[in-house]
Amino acid sequence: MTIHTVTTTPFTDQKPGTSGLRKAVTDFQKPNYLENFIQSIFDSLEGIQGQTLVLGGDGRYYNRQAIQIILKMASANGIGRILVGCNGIFSTPAASGVIRKHKALGGIILSASHNPGGPDGDFGVKYNVANGGPAPEKVTEAIFERTKTITEYKILEAADINLDRPASFKLGAMDIEVMDSVEPYVELMQTLFDFEKIKGLLSSGGFRMSMDSLHAVTGPYAHALFEKHLGAPSGTVLNGTPLEDFGGGHPDPNLVYAHDLVEILFGDNAPDFGAASDGDGDRNMILGRKFFVTPSDSLAVLTANAKLVPGYKNGLAGVARSMPTSAAVDQVAKKLGIDCYETPTGWKFFGNLLDADKATLCGEESFGTGSNHIREKDGLWAVLFWLNILAVRGESVEQIVRDHWKTYGRNYYCRHDYEAVESGPANELMERLRSMTVELKGKQYGDYEVAYSDDFSYTDPVDGSVSQKQGIRIGFTDGSRIVFRLSGTGTKGATLRVYIESYEPDASQHNIETQEALKPLIKLADEIAKIKEFTGRDEPTVIT
């Protein structure tokens, strides 16, 4: 086997976003594009010789080809051992768990998360560090800087490795273990949740659930957990076979893209519980019978009921949420007497808090929740957490949420996404808002008076690092707020996200439809930001 050193030239568009480098498949298929980025990862890490890495992805188109390239490059660069998922499959949370369990140097996860797949879809590469979490900004910046100057990459000339079954191989001097990525994850979940209690619920015949894996990575994990270990009947898991194009669907677990599941849960003879997960398995959507649980409310309910779950029965060190996520969990933290941290969007910002034992549960409004068991958000973990609570309390999803609102008040909350808008006007909109923040305080808009406005910045309480320009916040004297952000997870144009929130402590006012309750603030958001004027859109692409 011969190691080749291949001459290359830099690409100018390889800056990682909040979740690694995401581009169209056709970009990654360009000669040397993937190779440049992978070599830049290896060049940016210290002490990689002889180290262990974890490798796998969500099964989308180009996953297998990319794995073969990365294996050969890892061997050529002196990596000692690679743990790769059977069939190239590794959910993001499962990979995080294996990185931690095997004390690996890190992992390379191949996914574009909730973005569409297939030959005309998207692909992504993300590097996770030794704690199992996404690389912090100092690491991704170093990788990006290297992509600007790279002149060569190393790759081993060798035959492809058989990924179809667990086995051990030698590739040059490097050891490869093709492993079952499902069982280690199941074993980890068994340390956190009362499987016997949940099994009693799912096998009783009186409780039914539907789990939609959207033809993405969690299919094999969901089959093993719910139908094998927890006794749910066959057919509980829908769309459980990972497909390279996700069956032509959009692997995003929200009310729009998981519409088949929504129709089941809001239809006749609906199951008691429904859930969906995304492309790489780190997001979740929770539904009751004819009832949708917002991700912000989900985090708050999990926090309030954590002591019912074995892995969290001793209480929580603290909780953390991303800035755009509603303040529902803040109300719970206050009552529990624990700290609640507000961070920028991006799971990497939770890593230091989890490592320092300042937070136990974390969540984002973008359908992501997780805990200190790994350093990623974890879709199936959230589903199991809900099932554990349902099994203990013996109440419906809707009853539990409504009881929560009575105790803590209701945070009416929604997110409006304007997808694939032109980047230029979207950036102009944000710059205009940024320039307005200094003069908005005290301004009156109808019944709303601005209490504060700023461009959110975050100082990490653990390492002191500062992250600026994380979203425009406009807060009002009644506790309502509007937040504007440009998302870093899309690959076409820009996605403008608008978050609207209003707190209602009066239980008699908790039955208003969300969009109706927030109607004045939604109108105000468009008025302040001139959304239609800048984007040309009359309405959002997705409302969640």
Q: Active-site residue numbers? A: 113
- At 262, which amino acid appears? V
The answer to whether residues 341 and 327 touch, using CB atoms and an 8 Å cutoff, is: no
Closest CA to 83 of 157, 175, 18: 175
Measure Cα distances from 323 to 233, 471, 527 in Å. Answer: 40, 8, 22
| Backbone dihedral angles phi then psi of residue 218, each to the nearest 5 degrees | -75, -5
Name the maximum alpha-carbon separation found in the chain: 73
Q: In angstroms, how far is CA 397 from the centroid of its own chain? A: 23
| Backbone dihedral angles phi then psi of residue 229, each to the nearest 5 degrees | -85, -30
Measure Cα distances from 274 to 79, 91, 184, 278, 400 in Å. Answer: 42, 20, 25, 14, 15
DSSP for residue 228: I
The answer to whether residues 58 and 281 touch, using CB atoms and an 8 Å cutoff, is: yes
Parallel, antiparallel or unpaired: strands 361-364 and 368-371: antiparallel
The answer to whether residues 470 and 493 touch, using CB atoms and an 8 Å cutoff, is: no
Q: Which two tokens stand for residue 21?
A: 């480098």
Cα angle, residue 393 at apex, residues 389 and 397 outer, rounded to 5°? 65
DSSP for residue 78: T
CB within 8 A of 205, min separation 6: which ones? none
Q: Which two tokens stand for residue 58?
A: 């969500």
